[in-house]
Structure 1
Amino acid sequence: MNDDRDPQEGGTNPWVKSLFIWAGILVALILFVTMFDSGGATADDTLSYTEFMDRVEQGEVQSVEINETFLQGMLTDQTTFRTNRLPGVPLPEETLRDNGVEVSGRTEERMGIWGYILVNLLPFVLIFGIAFFIIRQMQKNAGSGAMGFGKSKAKMLTERQGKVTFDDVAGIDEAREELQEIVEFLKDPGKFSRLGGQIPKGALLVGSPGTGKTLLARAIAGEAGVPFFTISGSDFVEMFVGVGASRVRDMFEQAKKNAPCIVFIDEIDAVGRHRGAGLGNGNDEREQTLNQLLVEMDGFEANEGIIIIAATNRPDVLDPALLRPGRFDRQVVVPKPDIEGREKILDVHMKKVPLAPDVDARTIARGTPGFSGADLANLVNEAALLAARKGKRLVAMDEFEEAKDKVMMGSERKSMIMTEDEKRATAYHEAGHALVSLHVKGCDPLHKVTIIPRGRALGVTWNLPDRDRYSMSMEQMKARLALAFGGRIAEQLIYGEDSLNTGAANDIQQATDMARAMVMEYGMSEKLGWLRYRDNQDEVFLGHSVARNQQVSEETFKVIDSEIRRLIEEAEGTARAVLTDNLDELHKLAGALLEYETLSGEEAKLAIAGEDIGRGDDRGNMPAPQTSGGSSIPKTTPRKRPFGGPAPEGA
């Protein structure tokens, strides 16, 4: 950047500033008090001139110092005194000598008129100087006080350490190439302008949380070699109407002074939401801020050389005027990485970690479908922390497997005490899920099943897709419905109808949501056809969603309910048939879970076949999965969720 010094620091230690300020205040107070001080003795040691002469004649005065306006000295009892001289009355020097008083004199040094003015005005100068300094500091810190309400909070990004470049961005090659073109335009505009091309005015980064939108922006800052301002969308909006618009104007004024430059607005949906779509009255402050942003990006005044880059994970709620060409010319999608991208991302993060020879990034990438860049960074960090906790010098594959389980399923709750009956019921519940996934066509391959409590679940059945997946067929969705009911039906077959518990609440919720989506969104019902019967329930701010779409009749809703029930009952029947026909396998798998607590997919198949699993430990430290990846976070099936809270993502 143009200036390597942090503008917020100003090159001075803030503790030194505070010390100077308080020292100045103290000196001003001392001078102020001194100026109004009487400058003399108190009433106890001040004598009247008559009393002074009486004390002299009585021999009680030991010494006296004569000044031009007063007399001061010491009595024979060693107390001091002071008395004023009478104008025009000569001193009784003979009387003083006759009574043995030691006499001395001192002439006062009179200061000039300018010195007198300086001494008396100095406290006021210091006080006004300190007040001016404080007001100036308030104005410098935009938004930190009343003087800075309308100032922009955008900060110029300077990275003296930890500089990020495009070499540190992996797994999102297409997005990186589009943004790298903007950087090249800033460095060599003639390369594009000679063919009539113009630099894009704005680029909108769209992607799920954790996919690397902010990392891309930091890489642009590291590569561009031009001033880079960063601000969050929430920094514009205040409770006072007009403040946000003022901050937008101030931000663009700063950008014009430093053009060509890049302005990065993170989470732009905080200020760029669809206008007039609120529940009730609109937010005047937010809408005025958005209007000012629209004008500054593409209004009458051209802001040449200013490129706006914004990031959001909610592009559907943004105002259409904000997305049109001329404002955001490009929408750069930052997707979750595929297996190749995950391997590259792992290579980037593993450079900072000492690895054991058995660590294979490709194997870890195959076993982490649906992980974003932030998830993979967290995975590598967790593995390093686990290795450090164990006192190891290198991070091995075992730590990566343990870290993956922790990230995807939660930490093991080793302190949780379960009774034998609860542990046995959990084993049959998870064995039911696992057995259905092994016998029903369309289920993802079984990766791991455990009865060790993790996160909010007492047990987990973990299935991983065998490839990167971007859509699901009806067969696969029906298989997932059957998988969801495997645990409840297994408990019902073993313990009876009256012994059912609340452990299947999350299974029922997942199955109901999926069946409803199949009927109302995906057109997977012959009776209802290829029609969509509900709007996106997440977009309540757009004013389009209601609890029940009024355009759908009551008769149609009855058909919808009946179709959802039909899919659920078919799934229950499929799971019941599998478990009834393979009851012996259910007992074998539940027994193996009670013995080993955690089984891999291959070990579960060996247990069902009655073969020796071939390991002596009872904790279930599994080798790396040999799956080939997937596209979404694998579905786990919690045995129980305490307190009836929502299931974790991917659970």
Structure 2
Amino acid sequence: EGVILIAATNRPDVLDPALMRPGRFDRQVIVSYPDINGREAILKVHARKKPLAPDVKLKTIAKTTAGFTGADLENLLNEAALLAARKNKKAITMEEIEEATIKVVVGAEKKTRVMSDKEKKLTAYHEAGHAICFHELATQDPVHEISIIPRGMAGGYTMPLPSEDKSYNSRTEMLEDIVVCLGGRVAEAIILDDISTGASNDIEKATKTARDMVTKYGMTKELGCICYGKDNSAVFLGRDMGHTQDYSERTAAKIDELILEIVNNAYDRAETILKDNIDKLHEVAAYLIKHEKMGGDDFEAVMNGTYVEPVEAEDAESEEDNANTAENKDNE
């Protein structure tokens, strides 16, 4: 008597159904991803023994880490502490926090990898294509940073900054997600008149989103609000692994047709966006080729036509020398 049994799992779908019957575990508590207040509370716990600079605001970090789990947030602060230590800093600043956030999401930078000029140009236009599609589509989050430095498995990345926590995705958002995914491939085709293997992950994401729209979420008029196929990826006690096809071959052909139509329409839309902003595409790519990274503020300035290239020290000195020479000639 008086014994309370508590259990936790990340995979409730693979449990023996006998465990889930009434009287076994009387109460089930679903713990989802933390919201903004939850993330702030988690950050406070993990920041207790870490020296934080005055510019670090946990509320701000919580706002910019939508979709992070508790483990991700702990990892973020640990990575930021390591980065600060490597720079011989006494405290963690927002600079380390931002760098650690990108490291957690995308992976560590591979600065030792040398890219040829051809690869650099291809990656720059690819990421610029993604970024411009992000900017031009109403449902997409603003661009936080673009980089052509390889990280993790990626040759480069375009990182948006989520403006709010989302529980659901609308049909419009999903269609525009596919447009953004294909932006890099479209940019390669337009500028280089060729395509590369760099878009494989983008194509995989676009195809999955389109397939889910058709078979899982009932977002097409042709097939209606019906779920097609049952996912049996969970394996336990005699269940088969794979995907059960509970529809006819005729329906399967229609599903393939609709997926192709959604992806092709998204490709055409991405092509229109990039051709309408071809000057901006060249400008963003040129910036990336020169600097390798581009912050959200500079990207917005380029898109709004207000960006001015900062004058470097050597250029400033040469301009001053030229001005002095011209002034001396005038005096003579």
**Same fold by TM-score greater than 0.5:** yes
The structure in which a higher percent of residues are strand is 1
**Superimposed CA distance per residue, residues 101-155 of structure 1 (whole angstroms, 9 cap, x where no aligned partner):** xxxxxxxxxxxxxxxxxxxxxxxxxxxxxxxxxxxxxxxxxxxxxxxxxxxxxxx
Q: Does 1:566 align with 2:261?
A: yes
Distance between the aligned counterparts of 2:276 and 2:243, measured in 1?
42
Partner of 1:594: 289
Partner of 2:130: 433
Asked if the contact 2:229/2:243 (under 8 Å) is kept, the reply is: no
Partner of 2:325: none
**Superimposed CA distance per residue, residues 20-64 of structure 1 (whole angstroms, 9 cap, x where no aligned partner):** xxxxxxxxxxxxxxxxxxxxxxxxxxxxxxxxxxxxxxxxxxxxx
**Superimposed CA distance per residue, residues 336-389 of structure 1 (whole angstroms, 9 cap, x where no aligned partner):** 111111111111111110111111001111111111111111111111111111
Partner of 1:543: 239
Distance between the aligned counterparts of 1:613 and 1:331, measured in 2?
57
Please, which of 113, 118, 140 is the counterpart of residue 416 of structure 1?
113
The letter of the residue matching 1:562 is E
Asked if the contact 2:84/2:90 (under 8 Å) is kept, the reply is: yes
Distance between the aligned counterparts of 1:324 and 1:547, measured in 2?
26
Distance between the aligned counterparts of 2:241 and 2:153, measured in 1?
32
Q: Does 1:557 align with 2:265?
A: no
User: Which structure's relative contact order is higher, taking Cα pairs within 8 Å and 6+ residues apart?
Assistant: 2
Q: Does 1:605 align with 2:300?
A: yes
CA displacement at 1:610 relative to structure 2: 3.8
Asked if the contact 1:592/1:607 (under 8 Å) is kept, the reply is: no
CA displacement at 1:543 relative to structure 2: 2.5
**Superimposed CA distance per residue, residues 190-216 of structure 1 (whole angstroms, 9 cap, x where no aligned partner):** xxxxxxxxxxxxxxxxxxxxxxxxxxx
Q: What SS class does the counterpart of residue 504 from structure 1 fall into?
A: helix
Distance between the aligned counterparts of 1:599 and 1:484, measured in 2?
19
Partner of 2:80: 383
Distance between the aligned counterparts of 2:254 and 2:159, measured in 1?
34
- Runs of 4+ aligned residues of structure 1 deviating over 3 Å after TM superposition are 544-548, 612-617
Q: How many residues in Structure 1 have an aligned counterpart in Structure 2? A: 311
Distance between the aligned counterparts of 1:539 and 1:526, measured in 2?
30
Asked if the contact 2:233/2:242 (under 8 Å) is kept, the reply is: no
RMSD: 1.7
Please, which of 128, 143, 149 is the counterpart of residue 452 of structure 1?
149
Q: Quickly say closer, same or farther: Cα 1:315–1:378, change in 2 above 3 A.
A: same
Q: Quickly say closer, same or farther: Cα 1:316–1:460, change in 2 above 3 A.
A: same
Q: Quickly say closer, same or farther: Cα 1:615–1:404, change in 2 above 3 A.
A: farther
Q: Does 1:501 align with 2:211?
A: no
CA displacement at 1:616 relative to structure 2: 7.6
Asked if the contact 2:145/2:295 (under 8 Å) is kept, the reply is: yes
Please, which of 275, 280, 299 is the counterpart of residue 585 of structure 1?
280
CA displacement at 1:324 relative to structure 2: 2.5
Distance between the aligned counterparts of 2:139 and 2:32, measured in 1?
26
Larger Rg over CA atoms: 1
Asked if the contact 1:521/1:531 (under 8 Å) is kept, the reply is: yes
Q: Does 1:323 align with 2:20?
A: yes
Partner of 1:407: 104
TM score, norm. by length of structure 1: 0.46
The letter of the residue matching 2:169 is M
Asked if the contact 1:425/1:491 (under 8 Å) is kept, the reply is: yes
CA displacement at 1:613 relative to structure 2: 5.5
Distance between the aligned counterparts of 1:445 and 1:607, measured in 2?
14
The letter of the residue matching 2:92 is V
Give unpaired runs (5+ residues) of structure 1: 1-303, 618-651
The letter of the residue matching 1:382 is E
Asked if the contact 2:231/2:243 (under 8 Å) is kept, the reply is: no
**Superimposed CA distance per residue, residues 56-114 of structure 1 (whole angstroms, 9 cap, x where no aligned partner):** xxxxxxxxxxxxxxxxxxxxxxxxxxxxxxxxxxxxxxxxxxxxxxxxxxxxxxxxxxx
Q: Quickly say closer, same or farther: Cα 1:354–1:546, change in 2 above 3 A.
A: closer
Distance between the aligned counterparts of 2:215 and 2:81, measured in 1?
45
Distance between the aligned counterparts of 1:457 and 1:564, measured in 2?
26
The structure in which a higher percent of residues are helix is 2
TM score, norm. by length of structure 2: 0.89
Partner of 2:222: 527
Please, which of 360, 369, 373 is the counterpart of residue 70 of structure 2?
373
Asked if the contact 1:432/1:490 (under 8 Å) is kept, the reply is: yes
CA displacement at 1:545 relative to structure 2: 5.9
Asked if the contact 1:588/1:610 (under 8 Å) is kept, the reply is: no
Q: Does 1:359 align with 2:56?
A: yes
Q: What SS class does the counterpart of residue 306 from structure 1 fall into?
A: coil
Q: What SS class does the counterpart of residue 412 from structure 1 fall into?
A: coil
Asked if the contact 2:124/2:289 (under 8 Å) is kept, the reply is: yes
The letter of the residue matching 2:158 is T
Asked if the contact 2:109/2:149 (under 8 Å) is kept, the reply is: yes
Identity %: 48
CA displacement at 1:465 relative to structure 2: 2.5
Give unpaired runs (5+ residues) of structure 2: 313-332
Q: What SS class does the counterpart of residue 525 from structure 1 fall into?
A: coil
Distance between the aligned counterparts of 1:615 and 1:446, measured in 2?
21
Q: Quickly say closer, same or farther: Cα 1:602–1:330, change in 2 above 3 A.
A: same
Asked if the contact 1:603/1:613 (under 8 Å) is kept, the reply is: no
Partner of 1:511: 206
CA displacement at 1:445 relative to structure 2: 2.0
The letter of the residue matching 1:543 is R
Q: Does 1:343 align with 2:40?
A: yes
Which aligned pairs between 1:621-640 and structure 2 lie closer than 5 A? none
Which aligned pairs between 1:232-251 and structure 2 lie closer than 5 A? none
Q: Quickly say closer, same or farther: Cα 1:325–1:537, change in 2 above 3 A.
A: closer
CA displacement at 1:546 relative to structure 2: 4.5
Distance between the aligned counterparts of 1:580 and 1:537, measured in 2?
43
